[in-house]
Amino acid sequence: MVRDNPIYSICICNYNMATTIEQSLVSVLEQLDNRYEVLLLDDGSRDNSVLIVKKLQKKYHNLRLIELKRDRRRLLGETRNLSIKEAHGDYVILHVDTDDVWEPYIDDFISVFHKIEQCINKDFLLSGQQINVGRKEFLLSHGPYRNIYHTEDRDMWVRLASIDAYLPIQHIVFRERLDKPTKVKFYRLIKNSIYHMINDMLGMDHPRKYLYSCLSSLFANKFDYKVNILRFIAVIPCYLTTKFMDPFPVPDNMKNGEFFPYREKANGTFSDIMERNGGNGDLSFLRPEAQKIFLGDK
């Protein structure tokens, strides 16, 4: 039976991922009970993604589909915001993508979240390995995502860290990224790198320093030489592009790279986090196989 008021919404965004979407969604849906809904926002796909999802809906009644018209001005960050707004659950699970296959530990991750929530007694985003969870209304009021692509997650993490509401947790990865054609991977690498540079510069007070750094990186050993060449070629067009975009202000207490030491200090296993906050780090509330996942990241 499907609940009219699920407690949890797994928010998934899709665009032209027909080759992997069925395998990915089934891996998620097969491990859920009626406390969960899976909400898929399709961002105007031109392949047969929507037909695949509609076929799956005949079997999985907690799979909900929202079809959006394609709008090139709406980037992934805003699509994620729409998925959170449309969620029926009190809690939203984010960053579950349509090119991932998930092992049956999503509900265990939620159980871990609630144990920490009871211990620290405040709103926060629990950030695991490609899976995040937080209360819907909290994320809408203290996020949300900016309308950017590729670094929309890190940008929100920085802003949540500035109010001490970002909590990274170590655990064994329980999802596998499905392989894609080489052409698709190459295109995504270029696209991600370009947006990464643009977003980095939009968050800086002095983006020219970043420009000079990328131009000089061709002669440095900081990155793979292919990445250095790409950065060298793309950075000037990216820099010029930022002149026509609004900057992304970074909170004052995170402006000088403070996010990274914050993340390092906050990061830990379930036991680390609980003991740090005066709680009990025992994992016996989980199934034995799930306990192994949350013992650490090894």
20: CB partners within 8 A, 6+ apart: 98, 99, 178, 180
HSE value, Cβ hemisphere, 13 Å, CA-based, for 84: 25
CA angle 63-118-9, nearest 5°? 10
Residue type at 31? Q
What is the phi/psi pair of residue 12, to 5°? -125, 135
Mean pLDDT split into 10-residue runs, the chain, 298 residues: 81 95 98 97 96 98 96 92 97 95 98 97 96 97 89 93 97 91 78 82 80 71 67 85 84 90 96 96 96 82
pLDDT of residue 225: 67
Residue ranges covered by each domain of the chain: 8-176+268-294, 180-242
Strand partners, 131: none
Q: Which residues of 240-255 are buried (b: 16+ CB within 10 A; e: fewer)?
A: eebeeeeebebeeebe
Determine the Cα angle at 32 with ends 31 and 33, to 5°: 135
Residue 76 is predicted with a pLDDT of 92
- Say which CATH class 8-176+268-294 falls into: alpha beta
Cα–Cα nearest to 20, from 178, 130, 176: 178
Phi-psi region of 110 (alpha: psi -120 to 50; beta: other; left: phi over 0): alpha
- Asked if 152 and 80 count as a contact pair (C-beta separation under 8 A), the reply is yes
Distance of CA 1 to the CA centre of its chain: 29
Dihedral sign (CA 76, 81, 85, 88): positive
Distances (CA, A) of 78 to 95, 148, 153: 14, 7, 11
Q: Nearest CA to 56 among 22, 18, 33, 24? A: 22
